[in-house]
């Protein structure tokens, strides 16, 4: 979220907290808090331009008078997490998605000196396209939990 499409129905689902993370080789950044300006001195790993997470980061950096310019652009969350684990740069990801990596110290959180807004997640369906039986059941299951 947000999404600006006219032909879709948006159902609020949940919210998530995102954080900056990197491999333990960036352990000096694990101590203390850091400004976004400081983070721009390191390689940043992000989704490609046009993704909602990339837009979110560009806006976050812009609010701090910085330009978000990643060294590496990836197409999936799994690849972003792997790149961060391998020490290829600093990633920005939902905390829930890297809980195990943080517990195993495969990734470390990089604290920043600003509050990162919570991100809203929604279920999105096309208004003109009915859901299949399986999709309707899955949708109902998600909303029931």
Asked if residue 77 lies in contact with residue 84, where contact means CB atoms within 8 angstroms, the answer is no
Q: Is residue 39 domain-shared with residue 87, that is, in the same domain? A: yes
- Total structural domains within the chain: 2
Q: Is residue 24 domain-shared with residue 53, that is, in the same domain? A: yes
Q: Is residue 51 domain-shared with residue 70, that is, in the same domain? A: yes
**Rounded to an integer, what distance in angstroms lies between the CA atom of residue 144 and that of residue 47?**
31
Q: Is residue 39 domain-shared with residue 97, that is, in the same domain? A: yes
DSSP SS3 for 36: helix
> What CATH number has the domain bearing residue 68?
3.40.190.10
**Rounded to an integer, what distance in angstroms lies between the CA atom of residue 90 and that of residue 20?**
7
Distance of CA 107 to the CA centre of its chain: 15
Q: Is residue 79 domain-shared with residue 143, that is, in the same domain? A: no
Q: Is residue 145 domain-shared with residue 91, that is, in the same domain? A: no
Phi, psi of 137 (to 5 degrees): -65, -45
Q: Is residue 8 domain-shared with residue 25, that is, in the same domain? A: no
Residue carrying structure tokens 């059941």: 137
Q: Is residue 88 domain-shared with residue 102, that is, in the same domain? A: yes
pLDDT digits (tens, 9 = 90+) for 28-56: 888 889 999 999 999 999 998 888 889 99
Q: Is residue 31 domain-shared with residue 72, that is, in the same domain? A: yes
Q: Is residue 75 domain-shared with residue 143, that is, in the same domain? A: no
pLDDT tens digits for the chain (145 residues)? 566 778 888 888 888 999 999 999 987 888 889 999 999 999 999 998 888 889 999 999 999 999 999 999 999 999 999 999 999 999 999 999 999 999 999 999 999 999 999 988 888 888 888 888 998 898 888 888 7
Asked if residue 18 lies in contact with residue 95, where contact means CB atoms within 8 angstroms, the answer is yes
**Range of the structural domain that residue 57 is part of:** 18-117
């Amino acid at each position: 979220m947000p999404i600006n499409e006219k032909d879709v129905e948006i159902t609020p689902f949940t919210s998530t907290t995102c954080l900056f993370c990197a491999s333990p080789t960036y352990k000096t950044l694990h101590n203390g808090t850091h400004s976004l300006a400081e983070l721009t001195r390191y390689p940043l790993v992000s989704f490609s331009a046009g993704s909602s997470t990339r837009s979110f980061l560009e806006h976050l950096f812009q609010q701090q008078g910085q330009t978000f310019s990643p060294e590496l652009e990836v197409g999936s969350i799994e690849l972003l997490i792997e790149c961060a684990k391998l020490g290829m740069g600093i990633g920005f990801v939902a905390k829930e998605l890297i809980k195990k990596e943080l517990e195993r110290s495969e990734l470390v959180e990089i604290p920043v000196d600003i509050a990162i807004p919570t991100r809203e997640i929604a279920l999105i369906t096309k208004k003109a396209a009915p859901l299949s039986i399986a999709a309707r059941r899955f949708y109902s299951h998600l909303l029931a939990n």
